[in-house]
Amino acid sequence: MLFKLPILLGLLGTVAAQSDATPALDERAAGTATVVLPLATVLGNVMNKVESFGGIPFAEPPVGRLRLKPPQRIARNLGTFDATGPAAACPQMVSSSESDNFLFDVLGEIANLPFVQKPPVGRLRLKPPQRIARNLGTFDATGPAAACPQMVSSSESENFLFNLLGDIANLPFVQKVTGQTEDCLSITVARPEGTKADAKLPVLYWIFGGGFELGWSSMHDGTGLIKHGVDLKKPFIFVAVNYRVAGFGFMPGKEILADGSSNLGLLDQRMGIEWVADNIASFGGDPSKVTIWGESAGAISVFDQMALYDGDNTYKGKPLFRGAIMNSGSMVPADPVDCPKGQAVYDLVVKEAGCAGQADTLNCLRDLPYQTFLKAVTAPPGILSYNSVALSYLPRPDGKVLTQSPDVLAATGKYAAVPMIIGNQEDEGTLFGLFQPNLTTTDRFVDYLQQLFFNSATKAQLTTLVNTYDNGVAAVLAGSPHRTALLNEIFPGFKRRAAVLGDLVFTLTRRAFLSLTKAAHPDVPAWSYLATYNYGTPILGTFHGSDLLQIFPGFKRRAAVLGDLVFTLTRRAFLSLTKAAHPDVPAWSYLATYNYGTPILGTFHGSDILQVFYGVLPNYASRQIRTYYTNFVHDLDPNVGAAAQYPSWPRWDQGKKLINFLANRAGGLLDDNFRSDSYDFIASNVGAFYI
């Protein structure tokens, strides 16, 4: 849940920073920046030497019969468009309507009252995005973009504190200020002040994370990154995309597959990149120099964008991007859209919506009032629940957009082979191991993994995997948060569980991914890292806010298992797969440990975003990461221009080394061979770990 704290705090910060009334367009336009596009004149604002344009629409509103449909490009003229305010948020999965938590349910109901959300119009709900084809006129883009509807947490959760934080995010006045609406498919652009149309600056395209359940483009401010680039004399343009999340953007089921309306969130992201190709030159950007970047679900989305349409990333005959950065995420092996688990999610939504028994349940969902549909899509378990990262909503193979499971596409080289940076937090799984205090034995943990995560895996396979993380005291010593000896085992099995989950979904999957891609495209460079800057934080490892988690016993083993399963060891597997598929394509990898010592969380999943976007502590790690990333955006090599200040970062295939991000000094290099027994088993049995 704590990986969502920045989101929740961002919501509250937005409320505190913005008044109820929005200033008139002519009032906000004073001193603004203006960009003329083929289909709109866009107004933005200027602050701190950065020009920002928020919430520029790139697709028709996905409401009504366009709900649960692919996006439709806007082809009309929008006239003068006010982009001086925030971009609207897409609908979020704030809580699950199946929760037994009274406060969570009450606040969730309040959040979904009609006056809180804009009612859906048209018939674009649950359909692919439709490109805007009309002229937008002069568009006011001086404020942040509104968010699409969110699934901040699942009402399946029974944890009072977690539910309360989620409920606050759904209070009517919070949602009103953030402008959460289905009409949310927009782009936010930020550039150095004074950038001319002919500047041809490289572009960094940001895809937010949030477990495919929540998030929006305005929750991360690119201003600090842009100013750092200017200070390095390497200016660039920052672009953030809004895409549909939860059931609005990733609904599974055979009905969705037959309708051609799967993976809508990925299609939204792709249409946003196409918008950049069509329009970024007007902002002074170079459409041939785009790097796509994401964290967590956003990082997973980055590889999905690389693998979309079997790796065809061309648009109008030209590549849409030339580089990729993945923070804490890579490939997620997944069963098809119409798999039994996915179908169960669809059927539950249909039941909760009152559409069961209808001849056409999908169109029934599209025709529902917005509040009814929002409540129905939050019925399945969310990430802030016992199910944790056994996600209800995520990208799944559909035979067209994602033709096969991402691990297969990586292994066969069916992806756009571009230079990439990919890495992990040291303790990816600690957050996700907090929700299962009852999993105190190996048998219980194995049953949990088999029933909720990996239906195709045998009990023997899962038992073998879990046992690679040892048992008893040895499991505590080896668990996550890592390198903390007997500390942080807040309840039996926590540290092992955190290690397994973090490795399977993130860390060791990254390693497998690099191995696969290196084999497929050996000449394409990749760099990798591990962040450890919060080392020493009790329970969580590289993380902050540990005081909230002291009440959760059994945490350390679970955190280790979850972290490895979901992130760390998955990262290793991902690298192995991509290296095999494209051995010529470079990749760099890392492991961050800058939060080592942070109670409970350690260097937790998502803590790197605080460093990169906000430089929460103006420390060595934040400056180092920003410099490496800026160099990569400009030159497709993190080392160009950094040699005098920071260590040389070798490509991952040059000895399988990770750069280690420490808080206040250079961390040197790490061998990417930790937890090798666990990695070998995962890499040899990838087919058993389809979610």
The residues, ordered by sequence, that sit 6+ positions from 318 with a Cβ below 8 Å of its Cβ are 277, 287, 288
CA distance 66 to 183: 11
H runs (alpha helix) in 567-647: 570-581, 607-609, 620-635
Q: Which long-range contacts (CB under 8 A, 24 or more apart) does 196-200 make?
A: 196/284, 197/35, 197/281, 197/282, 197/283, 197/284, 198/284, 199/235, 199/284, 199/285, 200/281, 200/284, 200/285, 200/286, 200/289
Q: Could you give the C-alpha distances from 467 to 511, 555, 689, in angstroms and in order?
A: 20, 17, 16
Give strand pairing partners of 237. 203
CA distance 408 to 554: 35
Give strand pairing partners of 17. none
CA distance 506 to 326: 11
Cβ–Cβ under 8 Å, residues 462 and 526: no
The H or E element that residue 275 is part of is helix 264-279
CA distance 586 to 520: 11
CB half-sphere exposure, 337, CA atoms < 13 A: 26
Cβ–Cβ under 8 Å, residues 598 and 661: no
Cβ–Cβ under 8 Å, residues 342 and 396: yes
CA distance 267 to 561: 32
Catalytic residues: 296
State whether the Cα torsion 386-389-390-394 is positive or negative: positive
CA distance 267 to 263: 7
Q: Which residues of 46-56 are buried (b: 16+ CB within 10 A; e: fewer)?
A: eeeebbbbbbb
The H or E element that residue 137 is part of is strand 130-141
Could you give the angle at the alpha carbon of 656 between the alpha carbons of 654 and 658, nearest 5°?
110
